[in-house]
Amino acid sequence: MDFFALLWLFFIISSLQPVIKQHMLDAARQRLLEQLERKRKSRVIVLIHRQETMSLLGFPLVRYINIEDSEAVLRAIKMTDRDIPIDLILHTPGGLVLASEQIARALRRHPAKVTVFVPHYAMSGGTLIALAADEIVMDENAVLGPVDPQLGQHPAASILRVLERKPISEIDDETLMMADIAEKAIRQVKHTVCELLSDKMSVEKAEEVAHTLASGVWTHDYPITVREARELGLPISTDMPEEIYQMMALYPQTAQRRPSVEYIPAPRSRQYDVS
């Protein structure tokens, strides 16, 4: 075999390696899904957003909840019998309000128990989805986030603050129109939050939580901890199954030249001593 034949063989193997690796990863995910469904006797749905890289070009792409996600989740819910519980593994920075609301309302209408697992974070639209659950299982260090709507690059609540702090005569027409949209957006999200929480707490408490989450009390990226989520009255548990962490490991972040975090992937205790 000459040099050029070896070179072609190298390129063929190199091009097939990612495909084979992805196939093995997909198979491992399916096996773990089946294992978790048998253990919990439920329908398990995974909604995980990682930063991904375009093939060949290598440009990073940030993933968010979109219409395709809502269509897929709604199909999975539709295929689930009414008496079968649903477990949703959720890891996302948020996304489209429309898509998040569709998923949340579909989960809330499911008659059997709905559990949302948050191993790391479910921000913005992810929190909106979590509010639909009968139980939210969070890692002790996981966080949720405010659901205040964003208009372009600006929080809707901040646009409304302009009307409070400046005379109308000093505000341009575009800002006034944006403020009108902002007011409607906040009112609509508050209504959705109240609807999702109506079977979990009183109307007054639901309105209080909706105001806290949707009115710009915090910045949009504020991390709501387990303690704060419980103080809001949300049904929070920290009894996270080990399989959820195993599932997250099967959705690795995009490979980099050098890993940002390194450790020996084994349990560490005082009984385990390498000295």
Is residue 202 located within the same domain as residue 72?
Answer: no
| pTM for the predicted model, two decimal places | 0.84
- Confidence class of residue 236 from pLDDT cuts 50, 70 and 90? very high
Count how many domains the chain has.
2
The lowest-confidence range among 56-60, 64-68, 249-253, 258-262 is: 56-60
Which of 61-75, 154-168, 202-216 is predicted most confidently?
A: 202-216
Mean pLDDT of 202-215: 97
Is residue 210 located within the same domain as residue 230?
Answer: no
Convert the chain into a string of H (helix), E (strand) and C (coil). Answer: CCHHHHHHHHHHHHHHHHHHHHHHHHHHHHHHHHHHHHHHCCEEEEEECCCEECCCCCCEECCCECHHHHHHHHHHHHCCCCCCCEEEEEEECCECHHHHHHHHHHHHHCCCCEEEEECCEECCHHHHHHCCCCEEEECCCCEECCCCCEECCEEHHHHHHHHHHCCHHHCCHHHHHHHHHHHHHHHHHHHHHHHHHCCCCCHHHHHHHHHHHHCCCCCCCCCECHHHHHHCCCCEECCCCHHHHHHHHCCCCCCCCCCCCCCCCCCCCCCCCCC
Is residue 140 located within the same domain as residue 152?
Answer: no
**Does a structural domain hold residue 274?**
no
Is residue 36 located within the same domain as residue 122?
Answer: yes
81-94 pLDDT, tens digit per residue, is: 999 999 999 999 99
- Confidence class of residue 203 from pLDDT cuts 50, 70 and 90? very high
Q: What is the CATH number of the domain that holds 98?
A: 3.90.226.10
Residue 57 has pLDDT above 50, yes or no: no
Mean pLDDT of 195-207: 96
> Of 219, 244, 270, which closes a domain?
219
Domain range for 131: 17-145+223-254
Is residue 131 located within the same domain as residue 239?
Answer: yes
Is residue 155 located within the same domain as residue 247?
Answer: no
Is residue 108 located within the same domain as residue 126?
Answer: yes
**Does a structural domain hold residue 267?**
no
Please tell me which residue, 50 or 10, carries the higher pLDDT value.
50
**Does a structural domain hold residue 7?**
no
**Does a structural domain hold residue 233?**
yes
Is residue 50 located within the same domain as residue 165?
Answer: no
**Does a structural domain hold residue 271?**
no
Mean pLDDT across the chain: 87
**Does a structural domain hold residue 173?**
yes
Is residue 48 located within the same domain as residue 79?
Answer: yes
Residue 58 has pLDDT above 50, yes or no: no
**Does a structural domain hold residue 79?**
yes
Is residue 244 located within the same domain as residue 108?
Answer: yes
Residue 151 has pLDDT above 80, yes or no: yes
Is residue 124 located within the same domain as residue 37?
Answer: yes
